[in-house]
Amino acid sequence: MSDPYVIKMPQLSDTMTEGVIVSWEKNIGDRVSRGDIVATVETDKAIMDVEVFREGYLSGPVAPVDSTVPVGEAIAYIVASSEEVQEGEAEAPAAPAAAETGGGEAQAQEGESAAAAEPAAAQAPAGSREPEGALHTIKMPQLSDTMTEGVVVSWEKQPGDEIKRGTVVAQVETDKAIMDVEVFKEGYLSGPIASVDSTVPVGEPLAYLVAESGQVVTGEAAPATAKPAGTTEAAASAPSASAAPSAPTSVPGGTPAPRPQGRGATPFARKIAGQQGVDLNTVPGSGPGGVVVAADVANARPAAGAAAPGGFPEVDVPGEGRKMNKLEAAISRSMTESLSIPSFHVTSHIKLGGLIKAAKAKGVSVTVAIAKACAEAMQQHPKMNWCYKPQDQLVERSNVDVGMAVAVEGGLVVPVLRGCESRSLEELNEDWQDLVERARKRRLKPEEYSGSTFQVSNMGMFGVSHFDAIATPGIAAILAISADTEQGSPFTITGDHRVVNGADVALYLKDLKELIEAPDAWMGPSGPAIPEGDWDYDVVVIGGGPGGEDCARDLAGHGHKVALINDSPFPGGECLWRGCIPSKAWRAAADRIRDRGHDADLGIQGTNQAKLEWKTLEAHRRNVLETRGQMALKTDKGVKINYIQGYGRFVDDHHVMIDTGGNQDDPHSRATAGDGKQTKTVSFGCAVIATGAPPFVPPIDGAREGLESGSVLTSDTVWMLDTPPKKLVVVGGGAIGVEMAQIFQDFGAEVTLLEAQDRILAEVEPEIAKHLTQVLNDDPRLSVHTAVKLEKISGKPGAVTAKYTDSEGKSHQLKADYVIMATGKRPEIDGLNLDKAGIATDGPAVKVDARCRTSVGHIFAIGDVIGGLMLAHTAAQQGRVAAMSILGEDMKYDQDKDCGVIFTRPEAGFVGLSVAQAKEKGIDAVEAKVPMNIDAKAMINREEHGLIKLVADKATGRIIGVHFLADHTDTLIGEAVMMVSAGLTLEQVGNAIHPHPTQTELFGELARRLLSRLRRSAKVKAK
């Protein structure tokens, strides 16, 4: 009998120290396989699955449901045989969650405030002034973390008034605002009431509710409870906040503190402790069985207003002192607390002009636009939004709640604009208007001015040349904005060195600068991009492939004067002349040959001797290309695009020189750039770069010589073959290489595909790519070798040798007619003179934002030249995005909804995200898959290879990806594209009626299956 495998409580997040068992997904004695989910546990952040990667039988003792188990402790066991299984539950290592005194927050909603409702409030001295028949004491609520007392501003109800639940009975001034005192009980308001202007400590009576009107007592409370504001004596005799059992309040957000070792704590107590940095192990619990309740936390934390950390020396200052008002005192305290922060400053100059213009065009405040930009920049720099928490903890927050200082009478208030990371500018602006208006009247609620995760102070409008702000506990950084100068406004960040360092802040400021100086990228265009001017063309588009052509047509359709500069006699680009269309013409012929192989299964005899007549195929292919090229040119001219044959180069950011010296009549081959002797220059308002990406051949020994001699071919030159090769080496397992390899094997060649990576088709979902590799290797004349290194190519056309080493370092040599290098495509931007127009690059590609705008606001770039998915429909979509951006419309390219088909047999395809890609984006995704061999049509046609996968977002049920390996993917994918782009749910697809017998039925089936699985697991979890 071997030792049982211990299933331990996994650490599922950085902050997790323990987990609560939510459910057992397997029962004791169940057989468990690798990858099975055996239980779900609640961490500090979410309910998560516990997966095991062992095989065997689940054995006890298992941790009981609802028990809390520290990370690393056993929750169950796996044993080798069913005989070894043990029944029973383990003793819970910590107090079970169910034993806690619950309801902290629920109760809080019942009282007049969280302060009055916590159990601790019940212990507050009710005082002997309570009238007879008192049902309820209305106490001074603690309305902010720092509030210790409040001043009665007004009574909204008078003794004898009938009070309903939710009635506002009084207004009190806290240290930060004037707030309503609401009552959530019924009865008659009774005295003694605290007089207007009196100061009442938190938790002390303000008034009472009695059951009957006859029991009402009029009159004011004795000064012992309610002291006139401002009298030093009275203040001195008032019970101090630290002496009174202070009642806790909670602001939204924060991670609950871990439970104390071996004891329970109420959820509310954990929440408060988490927010206030209290270690629950150090807090004595007054609840049943030593459970820590919120009042214990409040009593344990350092009282607000206690001596400043470090015990600063009392300095004898000459002159008469005035007692600070509440706001002044609160600011003073928080500033003193800030002295515990090891801070530093970093400044960058940022030009605000563009942002001010864009904000104005959108009708939003510049302050809000700055807050949003700060949040956008945090996507790359999340640390800027964290904070230090004593002792030695970091709070990692994903919600960006920006506090922005507003000057009000008597000081500064910092209203918090919540959810800046996810809410639209318009929503934030609406909130901000309201917050500012109420901040000025000091009518903000505590949760509206506390709990910010980042702060901004803008003094630019006061003309200050430079200042820095003070970071206070709870944030890692505060941004101070000074007045505009020639180099821009100084943006100075004060950072907490325990959370961020100088480089973090410097990089954050760099990205913030980019966002603020190019606001259109994230705020949307503030109007058409074509600047005023007497331009030869409103827009010039350089490059006439699918990207450039679609862009030019959209712009011409909107009435703009457009020039399409392309170095070929016809438009169409690589897609038409050397890419998609010619390769699919070859694929069509290869399909016919391949399909004949199955004719006999359907009883068709005499068709399996298919023979390729190369010259006829080539004539057909060239005819299709030329016809389509002519059609495209005719359409371009018809929509009034000025098609100019020539090679475009930037002269500056409003002029392009067209070199016609390299022009040639043959559209099939790639043109040369020209020598600069025959040129003309035109001016433009906007430009779009759509120059594509030619094949890239890495510097492999003998490759360059092979390209020159013609023994090494690329996707530019393979079309010149007089006959199909008999033996071929294809280097590169991307879409082009894989398609070419299989086409030539179908044409009868013996083909070896060499790929340097350990898999083919990097953009394709891993299981699909793996399955396709097996299918390709099953083809009679095709073999795929991954993880190899091509060392050398030698020989001449018709007799080439390729040497490579395999993954184990063994050398091999292949003899072939030709080598096709399908080793990728790389934008060729050298000839464009991008620097003359000031256009930035990102590696070999032109750098753009999601609206296809380059670093120069009126110049755009699309298609292969910007990298990413190098596909024709991607280029075309980006062409439309650029056109819309030029027109001033808000449109973005979203790669998460893009798609692709690899035209092999069966075809591989994808739209949207795989599970792994979704997880990388923080989406909890699930997938369901179906093999093609269960489909009736696939069986009939002998097209049974492959599978289809549907990926959905668990939280929303939306379909976020569909992945294919199936014949007819090129057609089937259409429905998947609509699912993903429209964000259809599993329910919608599952309920849609699909025609029978078609393969589209599989979509409905997959959706219903996934839906039912999600429902079932939700039910198990709910149990």
Residues that bind ligand FAD (CB under 6 A): 542-548, 565-568, 573-575, 578-580, 583, 647-648, 670-671, 690-692, 715, 736, 831-832, 863-864, 870-873, 875, 903
- Given the residues 349, 497, 620, 812, select the one marked as catalytic: 497
Cβ atoms of 132 and 263 within 8 Å: the answer is no
- From 142, 90, 93, select the one nearest 121 (Cα to Cα): 142
Cβ atoms of 341 and 191 within 8 Å: the answer is no
Q: Which is nearer to ligand FAD, 574 or 935 (CB)?
A: 574
SS3 of 827-848: the string is CCCHHHCHHHHCCCEECCEECC
Q: For residue 65, how far is the Cα from the chain centroid?
A: 33
d(CA 69, CA 20) in angstroms, rounded, equals 6
Neighbours of 529 (CB within 10 A): 21
Residue 361, H or E segment? helix 353-362
Helix (H, G, I), strand (E, B) or coil at 130: coil
Residue 574, H or E segment? helix 573-577
Nearest distance in Å: CB 343, ligand FAD: 49
d(CA 739, CA 967) in angstroms, rounded, equals 14
807: number of CA atoms within 13 Å, CB side?
Answer: 9
List residues bridging with 343 in a β-sheet: 496
Whether 497 is catalytic is yes
d(CA 435, CA 77) in angstroms, rounded, equals 55
Cβ atoms of 729 and 804 within 8 Å: the answer is no
Query: How does strand 811-816 pair with strand 799-805?
Result: antiparallel
Q: Which is nearer to ligand FAD, 221 or 870 (CB)?
A: 870
Q: Supply the DSSP string of 670-709, one letter for each residue.
A: PPP---SSSEEEEEEEEEEE-----B-----BTHHHHHHH
185: number of CA atoms within 13 Å, CB side?
Answer: 21
Neighbours of 930 (CB within 10 A): 19
Q: For residue 124, how far is the Cα from the chain centroid?
A: 47
Residue 457, H or E segment? strand 454-458
Length of the chain as a residue count:
1023
Nearest distance in Å: CB 726, ligand FAD: 21
Q: What are phi and psi of 697, to 5 degrees?
A: -115, 120
d(CA 272, CA 582) in angstroms, rounded, equals 67
Nearest distance in Å: CB 944, ligand FAD: 24
Tell me: cis bond preceding 827? Omega within 30 of 0 counts.
no
Q: Which is nearer to ligand FAD, 211 or 869 (CB)?
A: 869
Helix (H, G, I), strand (E, B) or coil at 650: strand
Nearest distance in Å: CB 734, ligand FAD: 10
Nearest distance in Å: CB 765, ligand FAD: 18
Tokens of 812: 């091999």
Nearest distance in Å: CB 575, ligand FAD: 3
Nearest distance in Å: CB 266, ligand FAD: 59
Q: Which is nearer to ligand FAD, 180 or 739 (CB)?
A: 739
Q: For residue 470, how far is the Cα from the chain centroid?
A: 30
| First-to-final CA distance of the chain | 35
Q: How far is CA 857 from CA 413, 688, 937, in A?
A: 37, 11, 52
Q: Which is nearer to ligand FAD, 178 or 869 (CB)?
A: 869
Q: Which is nearer to ligand FAD, 37 or 671 (CB)?
A: 671
Nearest distance in Å: CB 913, ligand FAD: 19
Helix/strand/coil percent split, the chain, to 5: 30, 25, 45
Nearest distance in Å: CB 991, ligand FAD: 32
What letter does residue 265 receive in the DSSP assignment?
Answer: B
d(CA 946, CA 929) in angstroms, rounded, equals 10
Nearest distance in Å: CB 64, ligand FAD: 56
- From 310, 315, 314, 313, select the one nearest 339 (Cα to Cα): 310
d(CA 890, CA 522) in angstroms, rounded, equals 10
Nearest distance in Å: CB 250, ligand FAD: 54
Nearest distance in Å: CB 816, ligand FAD: 19
Tokens of 987: 């329910």
Neighbours of 237 (CB within 10 A): 11
Residue with tokens 């470090």, as numbered in its chain: 310
Nearest distance in Å: CB 577, ligand FAD: 7
Cβ atoms of 580 and 873 within 8 Å: the answer is no
Number of helices followed by number of strands (H, E) in the chain: 27, 49
Tokens of 235: 């203040």
Cβ atoms of 466 and 489 within 8 Å: the answer is no
What amino acid occupies position 447? E
Alpha helices in 462-517 (DSSP H): 502-517
Which active-site residues does the annotation give? 497
